[in-house]
Amino acid sequence: MSRILIIYTGGTIGMIEDPVTHKLMPFDFDHLIDNVPKIKMLNYEIDHVQFDRPIDSSNMDPSRWAEIANMIQRGYASYDGFVVLHGTDTMAYTASALSFMLDNLDKPVIITGSQLPIGEVRTDGEENLITALQIAAQKRQDCAPGVGSGSMVTEVAILFENYLWRGNRATKLSADNFNAFRSPNYPRLASIGLGIEYNEDALWRTPSRRPLNVRTAMDNGVSVVTIFPGMTAENLRHQLMIPGLKGAVLRTYGAGNAPTGAWFVDSLKEAIDRGITLVNVTQCISGSVSNPRYDAGVPLMELGVLPGHDITVEAALTKMMFLFGLGISTEEVRYYLSHPLCGEMTMK
């Protein structure tokens, strides 16, 4: 019988309406599980742990990512898989952060939530929770006994409505559609219809058989800088002068293009000379930043801004937090930012 650990952090899935303010508020796990009696029909052994106080995921932060990672580590030997119940707003950040923190992961960590609270008649939460549990319990047919966990999914993934996405490739695209997530630069890991159809070629397979290595230190001396027409040098310089800043994700246009004027180039050069690491990630929903295709991409490359390839902003930001948190040299941080760690980017 599969053993699954549910980690409940909060989010809409477990919320109820405050009778006075009519605002949705995170509520406890028993309320959530009482609303899904069908869970008993699954022949799994299910345990749960939860945050002391479940949160709206707008309040998610690196210390809470560490809490989730530590819960997984503590249960790693005892459970076949993990289901993390989480608000949708920052789910893609959490999925990315966990993918970096859980090195050598060989079991499923399936993150899900819902757009409507589980107590509502038309909730998507019940189906999402049940499907997430089924995915967390799924074993591979072709796996020789004793070779790894034998789990179908051996990575951090987001299950939402009809699809399973790689966690560090996913992004929240809709505030109200039940299919709220997409991974525009990476194929779906599974499609959910009458059955669960896995896209086995897209699933992550751990190259090593080393034990799980959980590293939770994150350095939040990082930032996201979005360029826009009309941006001033003062604005840009201020954002890059934040005390303690070590690195920033620069959200550029199209295939990695940015203004070529001295006001822009000199501001970036100043920051880079002060040791700030910059990664170039496109503002477009899909596509990649690699070698410049236009003159407007050349100065960034010449200055040493790293191409982010097809990484999401969520993954780029949390990867920087993780790498700076390791306490390695800037050169090493730059090296690892230029290479995928766990399927978060594809280099052309």
- Residue 136: how many CA atoms within 13 Å on its side-chain side? 33
Query: Up-side HSE of residue 264: CA atoms within 13 Å toward CB?
Result: 20
Q: Is 127 in the site for ligand ASP (CB under 6 A)?
A: no
Lookup result for tokens 């609303």: 35
Q: Does residue 155 bind ligand ASP (CB under 6 A)?
A: no
- Please say whether the beta carbons of 254 and 229 come within 8 A: no
Considering the rule CB under 6 A, would residue 57 count as an interface residue with ligand ASP? yes
- Figure out which of the listed residues 75, 81, 113, 308 binds ligand ASP, where binding follows CB under 6 A: 113
**Residue 145 buriedness (CB in 10 A; 0-12 / 13-18 / 19+):** exposed
**DSSP structural state of residue 211:** P
d(CA 83, CA 135) in angstroms, rounded, equals: 9
Nearer to ligand ASP among residue 35 and residue 138 (C-beta) = 35
Single out the segment in contact with ligand ASP by CB under 6 A; choices: 51-59, 248-256, 286-294, 297-305: 51-59
Give the binding range for ligand ASP (CB under 6 A) out of 10-18, 76-84, 236-244, 280-288: 10-18
Torsion sign across C-alpha atoms 154, 157, 159, 164: negative
- Told to check if 117 binds ligand ASP by CB under 6 A, we report no
Report yes or no: 56 and 157 within 8 Å, Cβ to Cβ: no
Residues touching ligand ASP: how many (CB under 6 A)?
Answer: 11
Does 12 participate in catalysis according to the annotation?
Answer: yes
**Closest chain position to ligand ASP (CB):** 87
Closest approach, Cβ 46 to ligand ASP, in A, equals: 21
Select from 55-63, 104-112, 284-292, 322-330 the region that touches ligand ASP (CB under 6 A). Answer: 55-63
Query: Using CA atoms, how far apart are residues 313 and 239, in angstroms rounded to an integer?
Result: 17
Candidates 5, 6, 11, 101; binder of ligand ASP (CB under 6 A) is: 11
Taking CB under 6 A as the binding criterion, the range among 35-43, 50-58, 189-197, 322-330 that sits at the site for ligand ASP is: 50-58
Residue 19 is encoded by which pair of tokens? 């009778």
310 interacts with ligand ASP by CB under 6 A: no
> Three-class SS of residue 325?
helix
Binding to ligand ASP (CB under 6 A): which residues in 76-95? 87-89
Distance (Å, whole) CA 145 – CA 167: 27
Q: Where do contacts with ligand ASP occur on this chain (CB under 6 A)?
A: 10-12, 56-58, 87-89, 113, 115
The catalytic residues are 12
